[in-house]
Amino acid sequence: MRKSTLLRNRLQEPRAVVAPGVYDSLSARICEMAGFEALQHSGYGTAAAVLGQPDVGLLTLSEMVSQVRATARAVNIPVVGDSDNGFGNAINVYRTVQEYINAGAAGLFLEDQVAPKRCGHMEGKQVIPYEEMEGKLRAAMDARKDIDPDFIIIYRTDAIAVNGYSDALDRARKAAELGVDMIFIEAMETREQIKKTASELKDIPLMLNLIEGGKTPLVPVNEAEEMGYKWIVPALSSLYAAARGMLDVMREIKENGVSDKYLDKLFTFKEFTEVVHLENIKKLEEKYLPTSVIEEKYHGKEKIVG
């Protein structure tokens, strides 16, 4: 069964899906190990991991597709892609959807910002007219038909920061009537807005994006689920945790020459082999390589690839 089909079926269940934001294969694998059943690819995280740059529209379609493909292949659970504003007009969106499907994504969200876009929680955003965005959404829904009809299309609107909450809600209603699979109103600023969105759009699945230090209040998952949110995304927790942890440990090594102060917070060498599925490689070697090669490779010792 396609991962998109698995996800579409899962979204029919009453329970919300908590889908942490991931930015590469390793973060995806770790979140899968933690027990999450689906993942949200992060464009913000991809910009940081691939370019070391902020999320301001610098990534190309090919760079994003490459990261989505690597992420989706690293795990056995559905991954929904961040496709920014579709990398152009409605015709570009048509191709973007095709590329994300072929990369193994189970769905994507598409935003209504102008190019170049900005992170949803940054200042200085601009949005295109809804009429233009509707053409993009129709192109996205048409593009999936022949390849993967279960592919999830999410409309993200950034209109709150530009035109106010009422316009964002109006755009969301129109997109819901158009037939998108899910609505994502980005950067809601109060709990009242979060609650009102859930009340006003209760007949369509809703995404809630939560960022530490962002514009949207951090609402516990159980509360968001009770409000009616279906796709709840701690979008940057994995990225920020990894970046902070790496900086703290590397500063310790730089200052004191050793990392033993942090050993309780690090994977051991053996534990990390489980993260990257070393056992799978061992099994393939035993299946395909001649016995003589195996014996020579490991000198009769435990088969650990260093």
Please state, rounded to an integer, the average pLDDT across all residues of the chain.
Answer: 95
The CA R_g of the chain, rounded to the nearest whole Å, is 21
Q: Which residue has the tokens 């691939």?
A: 50
pLDDT digits (tens, 9 = 90+) for 7-39: 999 999 999 999 999 999 999 999 999 999 999
Q: Residue 302 pLDDT > 70, yes or no?
A: no
Report cis status (omega within 30 of 0) of the bond before 116. yes
Q: Which residues contact 299 (CB under 8 A, 6 or more apart)?
A: none
CA 253 to CA 169: how far, in whole Å?
50
The residue assigned the tokens 């269940």 is 13
Question: What does the pLDDT look like over 188-209, one tens digit per residue?
Answer: 999 999 999 999 999 999 999 9
Q: Which residue, chain included where needed, has tokens 């909450």?
A: 165
Encoded tokens for 81: 């892609």
What is the end-to-end Cα distance of the chain in Å, rounded? 36
Please report the pLDDT score of residue 296 as a whole number. Answer: 82
- In tens, the pLDDT along 242-300 reads 999 999 999 999 999 999 888 999 999 999 999 999 999 999 999 999 988 888 877 65
Mean pLDDT computed over 231-238: 98
pLDDT for res 32: 98
Torsion 183-189-190-196 (CA) sign: negative
Record the tokens describing residue 165, joined without a space: 């909450």
pTM of the model: 0.95
pLDDT of residue 298: 77
Name the CATH superfamily for 3-235. Answer: Phosphoenolpyruvate-binding domains (3.20.20.60)
Domain with CATH 3.20.20.60 in the chain: 3-235
Give the residue-averaged pLDDT of 107-120.
96
Whether the Cβ atoms of residue 231 and residue 208 lie closer than 8 Å to each other: yes
Q: Give residue 150's pLDDT.
A: 98
